[in-house]
Amino acid sequence: MTTNDVVVTGLGATTPLGGDVESTWEGLLAGRSGIAPLEFDWVEKFELPAKIAAQLAVEPTETLPRVEARRLDRCEQVAMVAARQAWADSGHSEDTVDLERLGVVIGTGIGGAITLLHQDDLLETAGLRKVSPLTVPMLMPNGPAAHVGLDLKARAGVHAPVSACASGAEALAWAWRMLRSGEADVVVAGGAEACITAIPVAGFCQARTMSTRNDDPTRASRPFDIGRDGFVLGEGAGIMVLERADFAAARGAKVYGRLAGIGTSSDGYHITAADPEGIGQSRAIAAALRNAGVDPIDIGHVNCHATSTPVGDVIEPQAVRRAIGDHPVLTAPKGNLGHLLGAAGAVEAIATVLSIRDSVIPATLNLENLDPKVQLDVVSGEPRKMHLTAAVNNSFGFGGHNVSLVFTSA
């Protein structure tokens, strides 16, 4: 390990499987599903075709002080919960890092949609005086990053990548660049999303991207399966504390592993559809390998973006084969978690790090009949024990955003 390496020293998460990293990881390995019927009146009122979602297992209001929670949008709440977990896990305090060398990068795909819609309702029904003066800070997409930055008093820069479902992974890539360039010694980075409300669900339904397997929620999200019919909307946050290796070593920090390399690209193809041959995705993977100085043969595992959509799930394996080869073992956590949009890449990056640490790859839930177009080894049924030294985490988003991250053992 060199002084210029970027290491992972803290992890935090709140997801549909659990209120922290440990319970989420246990849920993935146990094959639990976080998907259940939606019980909001707007589901029936608007006759929405999709009536299921992956909601948080633990409400953020169970962790955050009541007054603080009221001043935050739900996506800001989950970011704060996960960031405080990660910060505590890293062993840091205000005294362990110069605040001018501490950065924050937290991405979100949509931001404060719940606040925006609620405040619009108030304006329409009760008038201007009922609109909260905190409306803009609660709805702005940089809100999660801003609030975490304020909480930690970070002064090396607070950034908020917004690149749809690649936002959380792009935040980790941005943090990697900050650390490698010497702009910071420590960066708290990841993604947050919480937008399970009528307009996003209706919009995705109209785009025909969501599963309507409402009578069987736990089996609705089925990446790579021949019977998949769309993704299931989820919510949550995943945060990592990333540090320069020399800085972490000097303070005797525990190290989960290395964020060894990152790769980003854009398709230049379509606003919602990926390039059908996965060219942009394979370029992102190849760039991550180059930046990491890792040979394709050394990649034992790919944690896939696979969302359970009919088209998208067959494009990614093509990209993996082109950039890495036929040997990596694949998995797709969205069978358990649903699709956390801007938080997905960060939560799944945590799973990738833990797969390397624990030498085990969670099974892809609900994969019963592998699509014959997916000509790679996908873990199904039971987790697979496998010694890993390097793995890739992929995240792709509307607009043609592609992000790949290479993690290696410590």
Is 313 in the same domain as 340?
A: yes
| 0.95 exceeded by pTM | yes
Is 362 in the same domain as 392?
A: yes
pLDDT at 158: 98
pLDDT at 94: 77
pLDDT at 277: 95
Asked whether 336 and 347 are in contact (CB, 8 A), the reply is no
Q: Measured between alpha carbons, how far is 397 from 54 in angstroms, rounded to an integer?
A: 19
User: CB-based contacts of 151: which residues, under 8 Å, 6+ apart?
Assistant: 80, 83, 84
Looking only at the bridges linking them, the beta strands covering 102-107 and 377-378 are: unpaired
Which residues, given as ranges, of the chain have pLDDT below 50? none
Instruction: Tell whether 227 is covered by a domain.
Output: yes
Is 208 in the same domain as 310?
A: no
* CATH number of 340's domain: 3.40.47.10
Q: What is the number of domains present in the chain?
A: 2
Q: Which of 251, 282, 317 is the C-terminal boundary of a domain?
A: 251
**In this structure, which amino acid lies at residue 62?**
E
pLDDT at 248: 98
**114, two tokens:** 């719940």
Over the stretch 124-136, which tens digit does the pLDDT of each residue have? 999 999 999 999 9
Q: Would you put residue 279 in left (φ > 0), alpha (ψ -120 to 50) or beta?
A: alpha
Is 42 in the same domain as 120?
A: yes
Over the stretch 22-60, which tens digit does the pLDDT of each residue have? 999 999 999 999 999 999 999 999 999 999 999 999 999
Instruction: Tell whether 256 is covered by a domain.
Output: no
**Cα 21 off chain centre by:** 13
Is 294 in the same domain as 230?
A: no
User: CB-based contacts of 93: which residues, under 8 Å, 6+ apart?
Assistant: none
Instruction: Tell whether 1 is covered by a domain.
Output: no
pLDDT at 58: 98
Is 245 in the same domain as 327?
A: no
Q: Measured between alpha carbons, how far is 192 from 196 in angstroms, rounded to an integer?
A: 13
**In this structure, which amino acid lies at residue 361?**
I
Q: Helix axis angle, 113-126 relative to 74-90, nearest 10°?
A: 150
CA distances to 1, 134, 197 from 357, in Å? 16, 42, 36
CA distances to 184, 245, 253 from 250, in Å? 15, 9, 8
- Which residues span the domain enclosing 125? 6-251
Return the closest-CA partner of residue 345 out of 296, 303, 299.
303
Q: Which are the catalytic amino acids?
A: 165
Is 147 in the same domain as 196?
A: yes
